Structure 1
């Protein structure tokens, strides 16, 4: 058995049987480009690109390394169109995984925010909310330290916000895609296409790209702190009204 095949078999054994991630890994394990439209969607149209698929493979877990996956557009012979696709390079990297939030802490976070998502400001059922880390996992550079159930309300507000995930949309997925583009291009996020930052501008301002020091570069982006972003934008609009 070759070293390459041994790595594939080792990684494959670390997935839950019949999981979406295992199916996506089996698809990408040949290290060839695969079209998301005609090959990804049949696996799991709602999970293929997200944490249950590509993103989850890239991040890894405490027991499994992350995978180096390239994503780009190419001509698909099956679709006969230019489509977005993915290719595993055969390389692995240090895991960049979220530590599990204890159930008791989950309940406290939801209560601190009154079960209300920060963007639409609607009170929701628990299953329609996602506890979002303000500082995105894509920039951690390592596994997240364990969450302490003793966190104060103020510490919770510094670290987390609530985003919605319901039949009409997944704001956490929108944020993840924006953060990925930011890492790739150095241009910070524009929530819903609105070009406003409450600190700095669209250019990534930090010399640090990953790790704890990189969090300073997120400050000012609406995806990092949507409430601060909205308040600053409203203040800007109020000042404009006063001068017109």
Structure 2
């Protein structure tokens, strides 16, 4: 088993938890020649594919060693240059979120009330940073000496976007993103109508991914592969779906749509014979309205028609 770097100290073995985001962290201290970093390192963090169980000691030690090496002060200049290039070339239109990055990149815990940019929707900006691949830790009850109260604080780890392990959210090129929208005819599956503001959404929620779930999305994906894997939702509905999937993951209760308790496969309860995470977990999502809204709508309409003695079969939204 790999040994833990002697300059890494696990301050608390009990994990810190951010239940709303389904994240867990380890409080560590990294000692470097010129500085010491004291903060929380995510060990359960779906956005970068990190999922280290409490009994996986060997994986934890290897992971912390990688984090420590990436966060060495001598690497910070090159890391910042890489991030500035990312923001200039790929996120030039995200100035508001960039201001949050700039604040967090200074290091240390940042209070959402008095340190981070003044923004009523700061949670959305933090969500954006996570979706861009940045690794953050959240303490919802850290004392702020300026506010003189417990406030939510955020800390950023200056490591590779997508995480130290190289796992994380699947990405796609701008060309493929446009093609996904074109193949799906720009149709918002929630409303069933075209919408120019829709974004590609993975049908299989990332909260149930593990280290082996992530796959490449090459520009050469076939139209059928795109239809099988993605649907189009507005950002608002995408966030709503994330909350539904998070609740399902934590409670075992699958979501509903429009308040209709209808599932064309299974029931409102997650099938306990199916794994919670990993590729096999996708089987447990089938039948949930949020997993494939078009398919759910097609089944519901056809069941209603059959109940009324109608023979016409609804094929669903044309794609």
Q: TM-score, normalised by structure 2?
A: 0.54
Quote the Cα distance in structure 2 between the aligned partners of 1:116 and 1:239.
Answer: 27
Q: 1:137 to 1:94 in 2, by over 3 A?
A: farther
Q: Matches of 1:217 and 1:120 in 2, distance apart?
A: 24
8 Å CA contact 2:103–2:116 kept in 1: the answer is: no
Q: How big is each residue's C-alpha offset from its partner over 1:104-147, in whole Å with a ceiling of 9 and x where there is no partner?
A: 2112211111111111122122xx11100001111112373221
Question: Which of 7, 12, 29 pairs up with 2:109?
Answer: 29
RMSD of equivalent CA atoms:
4.1
Structure 1 counterpart SS, 2:291 = coil
Paired residue for 2:300, among 224, 227, 233? Answer: 233
Of 123, 127, 146, the residue aligned with 2:216 is 146
Indicate yes or no: 2:302 matched with 1:242: no
| Cα distance in 1 for residues equivalent to 2:285 and 2:115 | 31
- Structure 1 residues 8-19: aligned runs within 5 Å: 8=39, 10=71, 19=99
The Cα offsets for residues 68-89 of structure 1, whole Å up to 9 and x where unpaired, read as x5879xxxxx9xxxxxx96779
TM-score by length of 1: 0.69
2:245 corresponds to which residue? 179
Matches within 5 A, 1:1-244: 3=29, 6-8=37-39, 10=71, 19-20=99-100, 29=109, 43-46=118-121, 48-50=122-124, 52-54=125-127, 57=130, 61=133, 65=135, 67=137, 97-125=168-196, 128-142=197-211, 144-165=214-235, 170-205=236-271, 206-242=273-309
In the TM superposition, what whole-angstrom CA distance separates every residue of 1:17-52 from its partner, at most 9, and x where no partner exists? 85436657999938xxx8x9x789975444x444x3
Cα distance, 1:230 vs structure 2: 0.4
Separation in 1 of the partners of 2:241 and 2:153? 23
> What 5-or-longer segments of structure 2 have no aligned partner?
1-6, 8-27, 31-35, 41-70, 85-97, 142-146, 157-162, 311-319
Question: How many residue pairs end up in the alignment?
Answer: 216
- Unaligned residue ranges in structure 1 (runs of 5+): 73-77, 79-84
Q: If you compute each CA radius of gyration, which structure gives the higher value, 1 or 2? A: 2
- Give, in angstroms, the shift of residue 163 of structure 1: 0.7
Contact 2:107 2:155 in 1 (8 A): no
Which SS does the other structure have where 1:191 is aligned?
A: coil
How far is 1:102 from its partner? 1.2
